[in-house]
Structure 1
Amino acid sequence: MHLPPDTTLCEGESLTITPTVVDSLYALENDTRSYLWNTGDTTPTITVTQPGSYWVRVTIDGEFSAWSDTITVSYISDFTTTALPHPDTICEGLSAQLAVQVPAGVPGITTVWSTGDTAYAITVQEPGTYTAYTFNQCFAHTDTFRLYTRFCWDKEQPFTTLYIPNAFTPNGDGRNDCFEVVGDNLGSYQIQVFSRWGELVYQSDDISQCWDGTHRGRPVPDGVYLYVIRHTDRHGNPMPIRRGEIRLYR
């Protein structure tokens, strides 16, 4: 006779335990069996909802011998997570740590962030919504973080300034023939210009260079083009990304 193997359940689940007599000599069709469980039950099966060790003694046809076995039932309890305090808004270019606190002693807990990270804490710079999914084989919990960024000005570090024209006429008349950006107090600088279909038609890391309206040595058509400018101040602090449209006329 034997009971099922030791079992682990999720909190709130129940288990019905039934002994099995494996020796056919004692498993006759009309035999008489008596059961005694350590719970005091005398039924062939019991249903349990609490952790612990459960044993049964089975006597068949009044035999002098009895058979017994024990099963241990364990439970995994539900758990709670806590989103640790964090800044809602940070200065652009800085970072913030987002973290969840999980209880100690609960087995098999895993945290996966919407970024793909699997640590309990992550460091982020970009604004947006970040979600931490914490789970084990029984339960799952979600914590959501919202992070904003803003431009921060240090009075000891002067603003960068950019002058960005909104149109130019590369027709060779010597006037306004180039798309030229002018700036003050700059550190690094990069400009990219895209066609309306998303093709990169111009790129430069030198603000003293301007775009003459060509791509691979050929004039591009009249129309609206999109620019993206990334730059830092002279101390290396990232400035807000500038995006806009430039109109090309010939």
Structure 2
Amino acid sequence: MRIIHLLLLLLATLFSKPAWADFNPTAYYTVDGESLSTTDAINDGEAPLTVEFRANPSGLDDSVLPVYEWRFVKEGSTEAYLTRYSENTTFEFLEAGSTTVSLYVSFGADTEPELISSIRVTISTSFLEMPNAFSPNGDGVNDIYRAKRNHKSIIEFHAYIFNRWGQKLFEWTDIDGGWDGTHNGKPVKAGVYFVLVKARGADGRKYNIKRDVNVLRDYTEGFAGGEH
């Protein structure tokens, strides 16, 4: 029995976390083309938001084989709805609300995973508005008809432009894209057109926007109705 006890102690020593081992869980993401990182929280994120989580281990050698667990827990719950078993993992957040992403590490099948640290990711509720005018006159100001820039957490988007006779002139699915005021490569006449937008937010909200679009060929700047 003494020999078995010594063997168990030896195994526990072999598979416990080495004193020199360290981890620095970090979330990496991009906003408006800028690469960002945090070890704490992402607040007011806009869906869809792709985040890479890295354990960033240090002090390990070939004799140490950590087992990684990234646990994703939604606010108001205690159970993980997703667990990833890898040193690094990437996840696309598509739903509004808060998720706590925690890194657990264990050293051996018989050891309990140890909580290293947690990162909180909060995705904002959705918001979408379309302007009522734009001035595609080539002056570099308000030349493209698109969703207003303060849109948030829109995960599905499809917009259509029609003329007064119901003919479809243009459509686009990239929320940051838009219409340049042309049809078949030629500028449309100044006047009133119509936009139909079908969209869905990360919070489940559905948008069905229908409104007039004024094409102002001779306008130069400062038209409030067309500001984005």
TM-score, normalisation: structure 2: 0.39
Highest CA radius of gyration, 1 or 2?
A: 1
